Chain A
């Protein structure tokens, strides 16, 4: 047992745990952070895009020494069928700003850097230390944690759980139910190495400019999911993820999907001659607002993936993690300053503060989307095919007059989905999006 008593124990050294630990340690609180991995980042997997704003709120001058790969100047959104993609690309010189808005990063490096800041701020980090359970007093209040090390208990006024998507501590302690296969995606990712110049010429980049591709369509074989391709300085991150229940039903393997995506004629040339050096897989909580567990209780707060804080539609997660971690930290600091207890009643302030941020507003706005996508698989199979066929009809010059082409396109759409189907889907999507 560690004799000293802490103001807070943070479980996990990912973006949410680091944000919470940093925020509290910087304000002079006594913070113990526990990470099961060999070092922060060793267990963490993400695409990965860093959204600057969320980190800026915590470490304003992070750009000075954080390990950043490329700042994103071009976003490509692709709808793919087996041989084509229809894309929307947005590229702007405005993204070459003094303080860029989004960066590609490599999480193993980034998390190490973030953790260094946390320790500089005064938190004590113990790695290779797994929290096995929460300790409670006779009233059921959480008063500390037990770890897998000998003599492994430590006590604190509050335990902040940033333990990630499959947070076993919270599950075991009955704070939240086990993950359900239909609210969690399994994503696989590879790192493909290429010389800098090759990446820059292939993607039309200079310096540290970067491109992000997000793709959906027949690549997920009718399952709810998306694929991505991000440019790093000397590597390309490529991956694909689908809802777990869909994969189980279809008997599909994630690496099979990734292989197919990499072989797609639109993707293959981008990866040509590269060397794959890393392979990783991770779960992503995609249940959204409706799948969120309790976020606080007597002596505990949940932050990051453990609280299902992911906006699947916009591929945002780490920024929600950092923001929830920061606000949890600020809440605890605020209570400490007022010399108030970390009771459930007082920690409700965390939820109140979160409700005022984009985190809760966005998750609430999109609360119907997971269900919509679950019930409308045509979004991932039929529509990409129809859109691609329409584009091909439109762009192919073959002596057919344009009016006939228009008719062909609308006929194909009606045959594919029927007019009521098309209208119904549009209405359903609009309602879910609202």
Chain B
């Protein structure tokens, strides 16, 4: 079975800073990482491969330096890596990105076998849109399963897959026919470390590099900035909302008295909360 995992190299959000004057993200010198959500997708793909056999291809679109992320994915155990890189992709929004990735996926299908599952993370940590996965599914006509927390069953013979999807108010158990696009939720597994052999293979492997033409893209107007209708109107740094720790002086140190003092302080800070709670408990 062939599985493709789409990933993105993103700036490490733990180390990113916003320029105080221009409000733009200061990317210079910020280390890059594989989008953390994509690692859950990759691990899930590797587990399926280990169980059922087949191959895992990792695919990313990005600048040449995104090769590092692909190589890292191979260290974890991916069998093949494809880097889609072309100046004409620069400035892509989610529409243009899903266009380019869908083209590359079609090409991967021709070259290395049609994937039964395409994985993505549920979203990236730099864009946070969660649109690219569904965009790819729509363009390629794949069934899509988003926010998946577990793959419950995969029947290769029947070509069906059953997953658990975390939704508001509960977990949905969904079954569909493959080929399918799955966006994985966080915290559902832990990326493996990769054996010494995998690390050695990854260090020496050739990452396949495709430009737009290689990926079979002819309509460059749908790529990059030209193919991106999204307009960033304004960028701003949010005001810090958290309040600093406040000390509440008290003399009576019994548990009840301490609790009462704290509650009184909370109610003072949040007018209306007390009456709301009263209403709520009365309703019960």
Contact = CB atoms under 8 A, between A and B. Distances in A.
Contacts of B195: 149-152
B203 A151 contact: no
A61 B123 CA distance: 44
A154 B204 contact: no
Interface string B168-208: 00000000000000000000000001111101100110000
A147 interface: yes
Interface string B73-85: 0010000000000
A67 to B, nearest CB: 11
A129 B197 CA distance: 11
A153 B204 contact: no
A126 B195 CA distance: 11
A333 interface: no
Contacts of A150: 193-196
Contacts of A128: 75, 199
24 contacts: A1-B196, A2-B197, A2-B200, A32-B200, A124-B204, A125-B203, A126-B199, A126-B200, A128-B75, A128-B199, A129-B196, A129-B199, A149-B193, A149-B194, A149-B195, A149-B199, A150-B194, A150-B196, A151-B196, A151-B197, A152-B195, A152-B196, A153-B196, A154-B200
B111 to A, nearest CB: 27
Interface residues of B, number: 10
Contacts of B75: 128
Interface in B199-219: 199-200, 203-204
Which secondary structure dominates where chain B touches chain A? Answer: helix
B197 A124 contact: no
Interface string B32-48: 00000000000000000
B172 to A, nearest CB: 36
Interface in A1-46: 1-2, 32
Contact of B197 (A1, A32, A125): A1
B196 A2 contact: yes
Interface of B: 75, 193-197, 199-200, 203-204
Nearest to A129: B199
A368 to B, nearest CB: 44
A147 B196 contact: yes
Contacts of B203: 124-126
B73 to A, nearest CB: 13
Interface string A97-133: 0000000000000000000000000001110110000
Nearest to A109: B29
A1 B199 CA distance: 11
A147 B198 CA distance: 13
A32 B200 CA distance: 9
B204 A126 contact: no
A267 B75 CA distance: 47
Contacts of A151: 195-197
Contacts of B204: 124
A309 B204 CA distance: 33
Nearest to A119: B203
Given A2-B200, A147-B196, 4 more contacts: A1-B197, A126-B196, A129-B199, A151-B196
A129 B194 CA distance: 10
A125 B203 CA distance: 7
